[in-house]
Structure 1
Amino acid sequence: MIKAVKGAKTKSGLQKYRVRINYTAVTGEYKQLTRVAIGFEQAKLLESTLTNEYRNRTKSGTGSAKLTLDGLYADFVKAKGLEVRESTLQTYSFKYAEMIRPMLGNTRIDRLSKSLLQDWKNGLGEKGYALSTRQGAYRLFNGLLEYATRLDYLPSNPLRALGNFKETLTVKPDKPVYTLADFERFIAAARQAAQEYEERHGDYSEWAFYVFFFLAFHTGMRRGEILALRWSDLDGGEISVRRSVNQSLPGGERETAPKSLSSVRNVLISDDLNRVLGEHRQRQEQVDGFSEGWRICGGARTLCKTLLGRRSKKYAMAAGVHVINIHAQRHSYTTRLIANGGDIQAISEQLGHSNATITMAVYAHLLPHKRAELLNVLNRK
């Protein structure tokens, strides 16, 4: 419908018209859309354009009540493509393919009832996924359905009412970490392996693994952040963390931005670490082609994450200490700082957490000195 707006004309004398179309939303609701055009010809063109657009939207699979969850996910990924990192999209892909699609991929989104979604939650629980893994799948699924509601594909998000997976009342085992004594035995085994390899082959390459683990324990940096480090990232007594390396993306290794904005940070270098880095630089400088752009761990090439896992196990067995994964070196760093009374806000900044609340949530059980301080307050007369 086209209707002139009374008393509304432009300076050139053209009449303003109100263009209104009626349509049925994908939710089945009857709705109206109103726009304003200048001049009758423009009003007719606008009416035709809007009518065709909403008619096609209703007929097509995209945006219709017949849209399946697979179709919605495809739209969602396109929309997110320019907003998140490639590694995040890959995580989405894995979670959707493994934990959502098998049960619900072919289901029309207008048929995602609360009971069906509860069945999905129950099914994940029965498969034995870790709580954090299930919570990650929920966040992705919830994001999908929120996206659908924003586009009027659904009147509301039925999953939101069910809530995320909650922790059961079980005692969680402590995270496996290295004490300083454990690490000294571990790193001594790594140093011995590097020395023996150099003597046998006249090659410094094994030292890269030794330096990697020294960095991990003494900085708490993430694996990808350490792999991405170049000599040019050292600035006086600090390490400038500005990039990461991802070796799990299609097409091979990729240098990316760090995990989040808060991950871009400067990390302090201890005296022991400064000594190790100085020794390692002297080794690399003896190799043809050395430059400030070389990786600290790897030189002209980046260390392979698979080899890191193998070396970690090899050194641990040689040292007679328990085997921990690479990320547990980060936990070891944090545990040591907290146990020695480190300020939680400063530790959070070193780790690249967005705020100290995250650090507290993960490591609160490691704060016995805070409990002692509380008891002192309670005992004051």
Structure 2
Amino acid sequence: MNTLHSHLATALHDERRLAALREALPLGNSAHTDFDRLTNLAARVLRVPVTYISLIEADRQEVLSWHGSPQLAHHPSDSYSICTHMVASHEPIIIPVLREASAEIDSAPFIEQGFEAYLGFPLITGDGFVLGSFCALDTDAHAWSDDDIASLRDLAAAASTGLELWRDIHRRERVEAELHEYNARFASAFSNAAIGMALVGLDGRWIQVNPALCKLLGYEEAELMSIPFRNLTHPADLEKDMDNHQRMARGEQSTYRTEKRYIHKRGRLVWAELSVSLIYDVENQPLYIVSQIIDISARKQGEWERERLIEQLSEALDSVKVLQGLLPICSGCKKIRDDSGYWNQLEGYIQRYADVHFSHGICPSCVQKLYPDIADPAAKE
């Protein structure tokens, strides 16, 4: 394959061009009728027997519309028709006498069908891809005039505009299909979410609530939809909640997360983690708010119980008194000197600094010493 054909093969197989070509394929008979009007007009204006519009794929041409003979040549992938050269060159091809055409151009298939002259313009998209060609064939040699060339150029531009229109239609249909699929997925995720979800208007009213949120707050859907969210918010959390909502409505912040208390239909408090995101319209203006509400009442209850346990432990530790270190004690009377320099009775000091109480009795030695009569009745006699 020579350099020219290598360059042409690259252009023909360009994935971006082929993607644009798939987008441009017209649908329905009415679309083809519009292109038929152009080929019929070209035949009258140029006074030729055959005109046609073709779409050029990687390895073949698809005739979209024709005037005159529909038996147009199809070429295998290792050969290139005259029209395909325009995919790489982006330039018209003007051949008054096919038998005198450049050797680089394979004009034999047209000559074999009895054609002697060729005029063709590329169909170029707005983003610069050649999708096909608008061509005229004459059975006689034809010195194409400036008017002939200008007329086919204008008709080719009209055909290109038509293909661009179909590209726009297909792109819009694809976007609509993707949007429909996205909306369906969102609706399913919204309805089946295990957590509470809501769409909230900038005025603070519900747009949509899911079953999980209804269950969390104890309301039926229609009943909940009629109550502004501020009426379901604990008074202590309302000011902060409304400030966040108004900032989002003004577009000053796009997300926030907080913990707040909702009021259940039965009057009890429901602690929740609220995550909020602002949705914008195509002009980047605030549209509505998506709220996700997770019930954290059990977690809060656990936190309160843990805090209460810590307080109880702290109180218990505070009540524990420990004696340690050196104690200055009198060797005679056994009093103990405290940090202030006062001498204290032994039992009083210990009782003050340790969680103990004394019960008084008397040991046998002291009985012998203090009460000898009681200790030894025989000695009394």
| Fold shared per TM-score above 0.5 | no
TM tier, shorter chain?
under 0.3
* Higher percent of residues as helix: 1
TM-score (norm 2): 0.20
TM-score (norm 1): 0.20
Q: Which has the higher contact order (CA 8 A, sep 6+)?
A: 1
